[in-house]
């Protein structure tokens, strides 16, 4: 078992061609492909072919085309991502970049070792070891910033910035500045993302938009519609049928779309892919 908190991972093997949209999530997304089949990504910045990638908290929804993919997807809490990735998340921002740009030659070496591993538990152990070795690559997040992030997560994005500032003992301006530089989003945008994530996964599970809006802290249904479109580029009805989101309860079964702070990795392979951990 890993000793790392804020790290969640799942294994995927997709034998046939697949085309889906990656939807923003309140975690840094890292995907390490080890089947020698790159991801073909179409996004706001154009087209990229990447064998492994890292996507920041603020990324815009992008299209992923792939065939014969074998990969491990890792979700890193921003509190864990800062020391593990070795850079303030403000520098990553909303970019989708090659993991090689962060980890250099270690990335192809890791992919080769994952390819040679014979079981999913072996592969998860390799990821654990890689992340553990990188734990102190960057500075840890200040306690005040970590507390504010946890409050946002615990409240499903309904925490008020003024209350967060009061809880840290900082001014709103200082919290805004320090939180933004370390997490990569302002407190307000982070709360918006967490609230969206909670709401959109309720939509995926079949809850009516009106009820989701009322119970999720939105002013009304049009407010929910606005936020869903801002993060997905589509309507709540269409977002509820996104394969990327629908897979979450299978690949990450215990959190329903938002992983718990300090949780252990799921180490789970979706049954739909026909492989076993």
Helix, coil or strand: residue 235 = coil
Q: CATH number for the domain including 210?
A: 1.10.10.60
241: buried, middle or exposed (CB in 10 Å: 19+, 13-18, 0-12)?
A: exposed
Q: Note whether 132 and 147 are same-domain residues.
A: no
Task: Give the residue numbers spanning the domain of 70.
Answer: 7-139+247-273
Radius of gyration of the chain measured on its C-alpha atoms: 18
- Closest to 129 measured CA to CA, from 102, 110, 111, 116: 110
Q: Note whether 75 and 205 are same-domain residues.
A: no
Helix (H) or strand (E) holding 225: helix 221-232
**Tens of pLDDT, residues 146-185:** 999 999 999 999 999 999 999 999 999 999 999 999 999 9
Q: Give the β-pairing of 39-43 and 7-22.
A: unpaired
**Tens of pLDDT, residues 8-60:** 999 988 887 888 889 999 999 999 999 888 899 987 778 899 989 999 988 88
Q: What is the pLDDT of residue 134?
A: 85
Is 2 domain-assigned?
Answer: no
- Tally of domains within the chain: 2
pLDDT of 264 higher than 50: no
Q: Note whether 150 and 133 are same-domain residues.
A: no
State the DSSP code for 219.
S
CA 73, distance to chain mean position in Å, is 9
**Tens of pLDDT, residues 211-260:** 999 999 999 999 999 999 999 999 999 999 998 888 887 777 654 443 33
pTM given for the model? 0.87
d(CA 35, CA 52): 11
């Amino acid at each position: 078992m890993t000793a790392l908190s804020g790290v969640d991972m799942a294994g995927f093997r997709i034998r046939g061609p697949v085309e889906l949209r990656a939807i923003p999530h309140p975690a840094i997304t890292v995907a390490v492909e080890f089947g020698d089949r790159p991801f073909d990504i179409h996004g706001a910045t154009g087209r990229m072919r990447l064998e492994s990638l890292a996507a920041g908290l603020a990324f815009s929804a992008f299209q992923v085309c792939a065939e014969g993919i074998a990969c491990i997807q890792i979700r890193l809490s921003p509190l864990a991502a800062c020391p593990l990735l070795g850079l303030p998340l403000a520098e990553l921002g909303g970019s989708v970049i090659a993991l090689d740009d962060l980890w250099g030659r270690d990335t192809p070496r890791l992919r080769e070792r994952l390819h040679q591993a014979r079981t999913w538990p072996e592969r998860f152990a390799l990821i654990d070891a890689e992340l553990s070795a990188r734990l102190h690559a960057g500075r840890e997040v200040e306690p005040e910033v970590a507390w504010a992030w946890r409050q946002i997560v615990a409240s499903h994005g309904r925490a008020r910035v003024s209350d967060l500032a009061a809880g840290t003992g900082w001014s709103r301006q200082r919290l805004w500045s320090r939180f933004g530089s370390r997490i990569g989003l302002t407190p307000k945008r982070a709360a918006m993302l967490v609230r969206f994530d909670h709401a959109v996964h309720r939509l995926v599970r079949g809850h009516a938009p009106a009820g989701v809006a009322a119970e999720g802290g939105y002013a009304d249904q049009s407010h929910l519609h606005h936020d869903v479109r801002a993060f997905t580029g589509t309507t709540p009805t269409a977002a509820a049928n996104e394969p990327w989101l629908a897979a979450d309860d299978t690949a990450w079964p215990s959190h329903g779309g938002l992983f718990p702070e300090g949780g252990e990795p799921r180490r789970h392979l979706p049954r739909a892919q026909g492989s076993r951990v």
